[in-house]
Structures are given as structure tokens and as C-alpha cells.
Structure 1
């Protein structure tokens, strides 16, 4: 029994080749039907074929359907699958990694400030733990608690 794999197999290569030939043949027949005058088709005893109107109507209808799908159906389905704005799942979920130690009161503070205006200095606004302050180190990626973010942004102490 063979495994299900996306790797090419002889059967898949044959299917791909015949689909390629079929698509090129259908395109050639469509272009011959859409572009040649009627008297050439009548010369080859081809009398029963669709009107030329359908040569442009079907591709335009396909493009309109694609446009409706791209601008209305797809975004609408995404909006229906999105959580409510006031739901707790928009703030945290089962994959959240909150860094609780990042907002303790033991802030590491540098001794010198490079700010021009001391009243607008922001050097004490960033909090971190001692574990994350290794030299040339980047803090670990984590989610911020919404309560702490709101407290830092909107509460003046």
C-alpha cells in the first residue's frame, strides 16, 4: 500500500501531462470559435456552434463572480469567523504566553539619561526582569496583559 505523499509519481505525471494537453486544446478550440469568421467554419461544415456573444459573456461572468467572491464573500466569511470585539478570546487564548515577570515593580533603571527635557523622560517607563537584561540580549517574545497595557498608557501616576 502506497503512502499519501505530494511527491511526483508516474500516474500523477501522466494526469498532469494530459491536463496540460486538454487545457491547450480547449484554449485553441475556444480561440478558433471566437476569432474566425463564420464562412471559414461553414467551409469545414461546422454549422452548429454557440453564438459569438458567449465568447465574451462567459469570461466576463467568470470575472464578475471572482470579483464578487474576492470583495464580498471571502471578507464576509472572515468577519463571521472573527471573535466578538468584546470577547475574552480577542485578548487572550489558549496559545497566549504572558510574561508576568516583565511588569514587576523591580525595574532596572539606568543611571544616566540622554533626554533633553527631564519632565518628559521615558527611561523609567520600560520594565524588564533581571533575567532578560543580558548584555546584547533581546527579550523573549510574549503577549502583553491588556490591563497592564491600559495602566501604562492611560493612567497617570
Structure 2
């Protein structure tokens, strides 16, 4: 099995080189057509060309199209993003905050009494052995959990 590398395969390199040459050839043909007078082109035998208007019109059309695509799309994204003070910026309707396994893992981890978890002591021992040897389930973390992980416990008895 060959090792993957960031360099293109020989076939792709050839296609890229041909595309590079074709782009420059197209630019040269466009500039010759746009700037040389029609009489010179007719003298060489090139008589079937679009009007010179299209040389300027297509370029302006492409520039305006780029402006209409690259300004409204990011602007629309910025308008649909909630404020930093909004609770929707750190949670949403599709957030998976926790499930039963995480609830039990949290109950055992934080040494909450079995009465609050509503399970008996034998189940706690079995679940505790399983959960301490397993990885907690993937989920979206609560903002308070993130703050506790980053800054430690912030509860100050006053």
C-alpha cells in the first residue's frame, strides 16, 4: 500500500500544467483581441470575433458577480450569528448535554448519595467499577463544567 503524500500524482501534475498553460494562452488571446484594432485582426485573417463591448462587459460582469457573492454571504452569516451575550451562542436546540450513563458517572464521580441517584448500593459498586474504567460518553459540555475545568471550583463560602 503506497504512502500518501501531499504532492500530486504524475497524471494530476500534467493536468495542472496543461491548465496553467491554457489559462495563460487564454489571457494572451483575450488581451490581443481586446486591445488590437479590428483592422489588424482582419489583416491577419481573423474576422469572426465578438464585439469589443464584450471584452469590457464580461470583465465587469465577473467583478460585480464576485462582489455580490463575497460580500452578502459573509454578511448574512454575521447577521445570523447570535450576540456573544446570548445563551444561544454556547448552546442550542440540538445540543446533546447528557445522557443516563453520564448522569450516573457524574453521580458517582461527585460522591452524591445513592438516594439521590435512586439506585441501590450494589448497583453503585458495579457501575462505579465500569465507569471508572471507561471513557465518559461524548457530549456537549455544560458551561459550568467548562468553567470548572478551566478555572477550578469557583464556589467561595461567604
Give the TM bin, normalised by the shorter chain.
Answer: 0.5 to 0.7
Alignment-derived partner of residue 101 in structure 1 = 152
| CA RMSD, Structure 1 to Structure 2 (Å) | 3.1
Distance 1:28 1:44, change over 3 A: same
* TM-score (norm: length of structure 2): 0.55
In the alignment, the residues of structure 1 paired with residue 17 and residue 40 of structure 2 have an alpha-carbon distance, to the nearest angstrom, of 31
Is the partner of 2:48 in helix, strand or coil?
Answer: coil
In the alignment, the residues of structure 2 paired with residue 61 and residue 4 of structure 1 have an alpha-carbon distance, to the nearest angstrom, of 41
- Structure 2 unmatched runs, 5+: 96-139
- Structure 1 unmatched runs, 5+: 108-157
Q: Deviations over 1:13-68 (max 9, x none)?
A: 10111011100110010001001011110011211111111111111111111111
Shift of 1:78: 4.6
The answer on 1:89 being equivalent to 2:88 is yes
Alignment-derived partner of residue 9 in structure 2 = 9
Alignment-derived partner of residue 69 in structure 1 = 69
Q: How many residue pairs were aligned?
A: 106
Task: Pick the structure with more helix per residue.
Answer: 2
Alignment-derived partner of residue 18 in structure 1 = 18
In the alignment, the residues of structure 2 paired with residue 31 and residue 103 of structure 1 have an alpha-carbon distance, to the nearest angstrom, of 68
Is the partner of 1:49 in helix, strand or coil?
Answer: coil
